[in-house]
Amino acid sequence: MPRALLSVYNKSGLVELARGLTALGWELIASGGTAHILDGAGLNVKTVGQVTGAPEMLNGRVKTLHPILHGAILARDRDEDYAELSAYGITPIDLVVCNLYPFREAIQRPNISLAEALEQIDIGGVALLRAAAKNFPRVAVVCDPNDYQSVFAALKLGTLDEHARRALAVKAFAHTRDYDTAIHGYLAGEAEGGLVVDERLSLSLELVETLRYGENPHQQGAFYAPQGVGMLGGTLLGGNKQLSYNNMLDLDAAWRAVDLFEAPSVVIVKHLNPCGVASAASADVAFSLALASDPVSAFGGVIALNQVADAAFVEAMGDLFVEAIAAPDFTPEALDLLQRRRKNCRLLRVDPLPQAPFELRSVRGGMLVQTVDRGDPAEAAWQVVSRRAPTNSEYAALRFTWQACQAVKSNAIVLARALPEGFATVGIGGGLPSRVDAAKLAVEKAGARANGAVMASDAFFPFSDGLEVGTAAGVTAIIATGGSVRDDEVIAAADAANAALIFTGVRHFRH
């Protein structure tokens, strides 16, 4: 008679599987709560204690860690192993059905204590899965309730061959790998905080969606994320078309940018660079200001707003072609309008996520890891280095422009203005090898709006020429990192134009 050991936290489908095994003539062994459920369902089941002769110990911490069970699982299909089992009165186990304590779900609970988290680390279950998976040539291991039906069907037909058992073993080892990775990540972060510089970096990501293609049609693409995280950490609410690889990059860039602001704000992104950023009293007004920054580039872009998208916001969009919109939520009226008028526009509700302590980028042969740039550190000290200090209006505009500049690819130059409705960019130059060329592009985009605008540079001016491009166009105040060997030359150029100049002492490169 074949024997199955069942020890599961997730009881979904358990009774149905056990009934099926019993009907096929299998003997059932179960631990703790699993045995209780099966017994309550009227099934004939032996407890682990009845098989091992040992009681559960330490409030259930020790129940399946016993040589009788592990010997029964690890015995290979050969005479000498069976003889040894027989000498100890052990009968082989042919199927292990096991899933683990919900550690990853537990640590998502707010204010969970370290002691509570430790109690959710499964020991016996992991050992059972690894033992059965190691011995897959003889033993089948099932760790996912979604596999119960197919495994039972194969057992019934006699088709659960070594190839099928190997696939189940691969899944079990992936399960225990991801489980240990989550524990390692939690304990390392608990101990150190922030970026943990360890000898090994372990990632546990699951396939969320296979994409139509990558950046180009001849490339393959897919999106992976930690367990339970949806598309870009959010939920797709609308759009007949699948999000593309490039859409996801642009949405990520747009959300990162708009998340820098506390006031109602809108960011329009095209090819990973903002082409319009604005803050106002409401999202619809902010959108109109952001669109005016560069309406040509905005065509076919993505939009992110840090407020709930309402009907007024949708009406403000007019007939602009937009690939996707990201927002904390959408009102029912806004959803109805968008789904009727823009059936192909993807709508992403950005769900709350814990702040990631670090970010990753792939490079040839490995990964780069860094802590996330969340804006100026608290200790940053801005200094007015020009003869003329900024006016209150200029100072407010400079703060907005400095934040907007942090979302633009380096070299980054941003021109913006304080307007009656709020603040908005009027010219953006980003992603250029030369800072003076970035300044020229920003001024060109701004046109006449450069007169009276303020300027931000994501890093220091290596020469005075970039600043002079701005002041020649009418820029009245500038904010930059400072720290160049030619800072005196840059300050002198600001003074010569009677422009205010602030050095932040903080750089915000974005490559």
Q: Which helix (H) or strand (E) holds 184?
A: helix 162-192
Residue 376 to residues 46, 406, 499: CA-CA distances in angstroms? 63, 10, 23
Q: What's the CA gap between 360 and 357, in Å, rounded? A: 10
Contacts of 198 (CB under 8 A, 6+ apart): 188
Is the separation of the CB atoms in 93 and 101 below 8 Å? no
The one catalytic residue in 11, 46, 171, 271 is 271
Determine whether 299 is exposed, middle or buried from the number of CB atoms within 10 Å of its CB (0-12, 13-18, 19+): middle
Question: Token digits for 214?
Answer: 């990558």
Query: Cα–Cα distance between 493 and 430 in angstroms, integer?
Result: 23
CA distance 211 to 221: 5
Catalytic residue (choose from 46, 66, 134, 184): 134
Separation between Cα atoms, residue 224 and residue 209, nearest integer Å: 7
How would you class 309 by CB atoms within 10 Å of its CB: exposed for 0-12, middle for 13-18, buried for 19 or more? buried
Long-range contacts of 162-167 (CB under 8 A, 24+ apart): 162/136, 162/137, 164/140, 165/136, 165/137, 165/139, 165/140, 165/141, 166/136
Do strands 46-47 and 413-419 pair parallel, antiparallel, or not at all (unpaired)?
Answer: unpaired
d(CA 178, CA 245): 25
Question: Dihedrals φ, ψ of 503, to 5°?
Answer: -105, 130
> What value, to the nearest 5°, has the Cα angle with vertex 108 and ends 105 and 111?
130
Q: What distance in Å separates the CA atoms of residue 32 and residue 38, rounded to the nearest whole number?
A: 10
Collapsed DSSP state (helix, strand, coil) of residue 116 = helix
Decide if 156 is catalytic.
no
Beta bridge partner(s), residue 267: 277, 304
Active site residue 271: yes
The residues carrying an active-site annotation are 134, 271
